[in-house]
């Protein structure tokens, strides 16, 4: 057994790929790489990596197709790399099953932080701990799923049933970017995917209830034009 995380790097731009590979290896990760979508699918099947960094603009098949092909059988953490101005494909990739994104140009520090968060999430999913537990804490918040209660510094926060479901869904996917579309479908049901104003109102209410300063949130972050992310670690 090798406990060093294995990262699949998919990028057709050779200098960028070399730069990312070198940094990841310097951080102690094992790296395999591909410059195409088909190559990525083959490597994912043969090596079963822990995490994938996927450039969406590939020469053969679209990055979204790669995610579709993987999500049938793999729950590996997928970080997509997208160019500025490609908001639509970014959201589509997240809706298809990507977990996180980073926009070019990015710093290696930024990418490393996302990789660490993704690997942490994978190890939590694989263990008995983390947010799969019936009772878990994030910062000053305590979640008690059996009693359907959320406490802040020991005091119960009064949530409507829908606010509760929304908060639990976010907290159970901490560190992952959840799109407007995904949240609306999960909480309001199919057909409400475009009602982003519902979501804005509920998020504002939730923040007032859980955040000490709703204008400077420490739990629920806005991903502009994409969705929301619950803090991955405090």
Judged by the rule CB under 5 A, the positions of this chain that interact with Ca ion are 12, 55, 57
Give least dist CB 29 to Ca ion, A: 21
Contact (CB, 8 A) for 20 and 11: yes
| Selection from 228, 7, 234 nearest residue 100 by Cα | 228
CB nearer to Ca ion: pick between 58 and 76: 58
CB nearer to Ca ion: pick between 104 and 165: 104
The beta strands (E) that lie in 51-119 are given as: 51-55, 77-83, 100-104
Angle at 29 between CA 89 and CA 45, to 5 degrees: 60
Which residue is at the shortest CB distance from Ca ion?
57
Which residues are CB-contacts of 149 (< 8 A; sequence separation ≥ 6)?
Answer: 143, 156
Give least dist CB 23 to Ca ion, A: 18
CB nearer to Ca ion: pick between 83 and 135: 83
Residue with tokens 């400077």: 216
Displacement of CA 201 from its chain's centroid (Å): 22
Give least dist CB 139 to Ca ion, A: 38
Give least dist CB 27 to Ca ion, A: 23
Displacement of CA 207 from its chain's centroid (Å): 20
Give least dist CB 87 to Ca ion, A: 17
CB nearer to Ca ion: pick between 12 and 193: 12
CB nearer to Ca ion: pick between 34 and 174: 34
């Amino acid at each position: 057994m090798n406990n060093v995380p294995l990262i699949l790097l998919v990028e057709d731009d050779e200098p960028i790929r070399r730069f990312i590979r070198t940094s990841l290896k310097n951080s102690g990760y094992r790296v395999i790489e591909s410059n195409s979508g088909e190559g990525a699918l083959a490597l994912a099947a043969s090596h079963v990596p822990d995490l994938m960094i996927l450039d969406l603009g590939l020469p053969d098949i679209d990055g979204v197709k790669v995610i579709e092909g993987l999500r049938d059988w793999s729950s590996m953490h997928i970080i997509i790399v997208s160019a500025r101005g490609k908001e639509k494909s970014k959201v589509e990739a997240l809706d298809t099953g990507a977990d996180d994104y980073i926009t070019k140009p990015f710093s290696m520090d930024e990418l490393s932080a996302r990789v660490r968060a993704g690997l942490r999430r994978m190890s939590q999913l694989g263990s008995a701990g983390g947010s799969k537990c019936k009772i878990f804490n994030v910062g000053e918040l305590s979640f008690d799923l059996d009693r359907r209660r959320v406490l802040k510094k020991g005091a119960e926060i009064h949530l409507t049933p829908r606010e509760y479901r929304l908060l639990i869904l976010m907290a159970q996917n901490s560190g992952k970017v959840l799109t407007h579309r995904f949240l609306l479908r999960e909480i309001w049901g199919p057909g409400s995917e475009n009602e982003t104003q519902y979501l804005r109102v509920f998020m504002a209410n939730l923040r007032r209830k859980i955040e000490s300063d709703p204008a400077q949130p420490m739990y629920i972050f806005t991903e502009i034009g994409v969705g929301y992310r619950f803090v991955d670690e405090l």
